[in-house]
Amino acid sequence: MIPKNIPNLFIEQANKYSEKTAVEYRLRRNQPYKSISWTHLSTIVQEVAYGLIELGVKKGDNVAILSGTRYEWSVFDLALLSIGAVVVPIYPSLPEHSVNYILNDSMSKIIILEDKGQLQKIRSQWDSVPQVRYAIVIEDLGDLPQYDPRIISFKNLKDKGKLNFAGDPDLFERHLADIRENDLASIIYTSGTTGPPKGVMLTHKNILSVISVLPEVLPMKPSDKFLSFLPLSHVFERVGGLHYAVSTAVTICYCSSIDQIGPALKDSGATIMLVVPRILEKIITKINHELEALPPFKKNLFAQAISCGRKLLELKENKKKCTFDFFINSVKYFFADKFVFSSVRKKLAPELKRFVSGGAPLAKEIAEFFCIIGIPVLEGYGLTETSAPATVNTLKQMKIGTVGKPLPNVQIKIADDGEILIKGPNVFCGYYKDEKATKDSFADNWFLTGDIGSIDNDGFLKITGRKKDIIVNSAGKNIAPQNIENAIRNSPYISNVVVIGDKKKYLSALVTLEPSSILNYAKEYNLFLDNGMESLAKEPNVIKLIDKEIKIRTAEFADYEQIRKFTVFPQDFSIESGEITPTLKIKRKFIEEKYKKIIDDMYPTE
């Protein structure tokens, strides 16, 4: 039976599995892994909890974590939850002004930082976040400021905890006993479409309701091992890759950088990994590059094996298992798997049994490829507001191109306008300090997801679009294009702009020129004007100018919100040509269809 709060679950597992390995990590590529047992991890968590209590953290206090994925992130998460504090995760890639907003809106009293680099985001603006009393830094290379009592190293915090424990050994247990299932566990900030980000409030019950039913759809064995790479600041990795892993007592192997994923898949012994589509895209690109180096015979053999697998998937999808064609292709696939795909798996990830994909839509072709080579991708769907997964494909019930069926304790229905509505114990309790937004997100106790979808005759959910214009890139980042577009439109040389990037690796833009300003610029620099705006849209100096303007106008946005490529149009968008409405609003779908070729050219195949 699942306990009533998250830290109690952790302590129960630590006591039960004591010397079994809880986490593994390595500091650099190709170094041997270091391991931490459940008993040792429990000790570290309690030392940190005592240290935080010594600093004045109490039940209900908000504490922020600004760090990449590493085992210490999990330690602080579990330690804070053990006290009854509320964890406020912050993406490490966010710029200073975004960090500032979250800290002030959440009124976080302490911030946990990964290293000196992240510390600079706080030191440079500490006066603007006066409620932040301490900054605790995980990595201490001996260069942390010694004169500022507000800055504390991870090691010094644990030392404080040890002293506090000696004075009151039962304090930790008393805190645990005081935590209720409906107590707030986390406030997670998500990107809004127009205004500032909203803080999604999740309780212990919300998170536990998910991990209590996951064994039914994603069963784990004691020998399984998670490879954890996605940001723990994202609810997908935190609930699925941390708290579910804890609940099943499997080992978590931490991978701290993208260049370590390849080696970790090979030598960590990981059997499962949570991913976003971008990671799978990179793996396929790597496989294709290696295929190019093979002799023609082997390349042709691989192509035939893939073709056989696709045919078999097609027959399964069309429910033609009881046919002679299916039998023949099954035999062919058996040999393809034995002599071709088994070698691919051995080289790529010898122990991996499946990927679980979420955070962004997964292209059907990618899911088919991995299924064919013998590493199925179980795609799911959920939002921060649903404590991550609300639906998921399983090994027993999988339909490629869908996001699976609802979790056993989750209800889903489709509204008259096609919007996906969700109800269940996993649904959040509201937006932090925003009653209106909370009220607007529900209708008759159903959460309005803002996504458009359909449920097929077999009960599988398929996402067909987004009700609003939020872009979700292939790495799972939510991006509000209007904010970026409004910033770029401040340039005197740019008339209009449409940001592209849904399901893409990076953002691109379609840009129209402001004729008067561009013509003046052209005259000033004696640029070629033989064909007017048509020529200027292709003029290298104008392209450089627009590039500079975009970079200047978007300087304060996060890295994943930067425009990597753009195309300049000689003519403005107009009502007559169909790109804008009579109220001058951009018609995104129309533009993406009309200029599909131009957009595709900005995303060449790797």
Span 535-567, pLDDT tens digits: 888 888 889 999 999 999 899 889 999 999 999
> Are residues 537 and 481 in contact, defined by beta-carbon separation less than 8 angstroms?
no
> Are residues 234 and 69 in contact, defined by beta-carbon separation less than 8 angstroms?
no
Tell me, yes or no, whether 539 and 419 share the same domain: no
User: Residue 331, Cα to own-chain centre: how many angstroms?
Assistant: 39
Tokens representing 337 are 């798997």
Using alpha carbons, select from 260, 287, 286, 291 the residue that is nearest to residue 273.
260
pLDDT greater than 80 at residue 275: yes
pLDDT greater than 90 at residue 382: yes
Tell me, yes or no, whether 510 and 409 share the same domain: no
How far CA 522 is from CA of 488, 494, 513, 546, 569, in Å, comes to: 20, 14, 12, 13, 16
Q: Supply the pLDDT for residue 194.
A: 42
433, 466, 499 - which closes a domain: 466
* H or E segment and range at residue 388: strand 388-392
Give the model's confidence band at 508: pLDDT under 50 very low, under 70 low, under 90 confident, else very high: very high
In this predicted structure, which of 116-130, 193-207, 402-416, 555-569 has the lowest mean pLDDT? 193-207
The mean pLDDT value for 166-195 works out to 84
CATH number at 533 reads 3.30.300.30
Tell me, yes or no, whether 485 and 439 share the same domain: no
DSSP 10-69: HHHHHHHHTTSEEEEE-SSTTSPPEEEEHHHHHHHHHHHHHHHHHTT--TT-EEEEE--S
In this predicted structure, which of 99-103, 297-301, 323-327, 445-449 has the lowest mean pLDDT? 323-327
Answer with the residue of higher pLDDT: 565 or 483. 565
Tell me, yes or no, whether 412 and 516 share the same domain: no
What's the CA gap between 379 and 355, in Å, rounded?
8
Asked whether residue 232 is assigned to any structural domain, the reply reads no
Work out whether strand 21-25 and strand 34-37 pair parallel, antiparallel, or are unpaired. antiparallel
Digit-coded pLDDT (tens) for 421-468: 999 999 999 999 999 999 999 999 999 998 888 999 999 999 876 677
Asked whether residue 129 is assigned to any structural domain, the reply reads yes
Tell me, yes or no, whether 299 and 445 share the same domain: yes
Tell me, yes or no, whether 456 and 484 share the same domain: no
DSSP 507-532: EEEEEEE-HHHHHHHHHHTT---TTT
The mean pLDDT value for 80-102 works out to 91
179, 197, 226 - which closes a domain: 179
Using alpha carbons, select from 105, 437, 261, 81 the residue that is nearest to residue 90.
105
Tell me, yes or no, whether 457 and 492 share the same domain: no
What's the CA gap between 104 and 430, in Å, rounded?
18
pLDDT greater than 80 at residue 50: yes
What's the CA gap between 26 and 33, in Å, rounded?
5
How far CA 565 is from CA of 439, 506, 510, 586, 600, in Å, comes to: 39, 8, 9, 20, 11
Burial 169-191 (b: 16+ CB within 10 A, else e): eebbeebbeebebebbbbbbbbb
What's the CA gap between 522 and 539, in Å, rounded?
10
The mean pLDDT value for 364-390 works out to 94
Digit-coded pLDDT (tens) for 489-500: 778 788 889 999
The mean pLDDT value for 573-578 works out to 78
Give the model's confidence band at 582: pLDDT under 50 very low, under 70 low, under 90 confident, else very high: very low
Per the structure, the complete domain to which residue 447 belongs is given by 279-350+353-466
Residue 233 identity (one-letter amino acid): S
Answer with the residue of higher pLDDT: 472 or 178. 178
What's the CA gap between 370 and 428, in Å, rounded?
33
Helix, strand, coil % (nearest 5) of the chain?
A: 40, 20, 35
162, 179, 196 - which closes a domain: 179
Q: Is 571 exposed, middle or buried (0-12, 13-18, 19+ CB in 10 A)?
A: middle
Q: Supply the pLDDT for residue 528.
A: 65
The mean pLDDT value for 331-350 works out to 90
Tell me, yes or no, whether 459 and 345 share the same domain: yes
Number of domains in the chain: 3
Tell me, yes or no, whether 439 and 536 share the same domain: no
Q: Supply the pLDDT for residue 322.
A: 79
What's the CA gap between 215 and 224, in Å, rounded?
13
Tell me, yes or no, whether 486 and 450 share the same domain: no
DSSP state of 363: P
pLDDT greater than 90 at residue 268: yes
* H or E segment and range at residue 90: strand 86-90
pLDDT greater than 70 at residue 57: yes
Q: Supply the pLDDT for residue 191.
A: 63
Q: Where are the strands (E) in 432-485, listed by range?
A: 442-443, 446-455, 461-466, 471-472, 478-479
Tell me, yes or no, whether 566 and 429 share the same domain: no
Mean pLDDT score across all residues of the chain:
89
Q: Is 208 exposed, middle or buried (0-12, 13-18, 19+ CB in 10 A)?
A: buried
What's the CA gap between 9 and 11, in Å, rounded?
6
Answer with the residue of higher pLDDT: 296 or 381. 381
Tell me, yes or no, whether 557 and 432 share the same domain: no
Asked whether residue 257 is assigned to any structural domain, the reply reads no
Digit-coded pLDDT (tens) for 344-369: 999 999 999 999 998 877 878 889 99
Give the model's confidence band at 581: pLDDT under 50 very low, under 70 low, under 90 confident, else very high: low
The mean pLDDT value for 171-183 works out to 93
pLDDT greater than 90 at residue 326: no
Work out whether strand 494-500 and strand 507-513 pair parallel, antiparallel, or are unpaired. antiparallel
pLDDT greater than 60 at residue 583: no
* H or E segment and range at residue 370: helix 364-373
Tokens representing 208 are 């536990």
pLDDT greater than 90 at residue 53: yes
CATH number at 13 reads 3.40.50.980
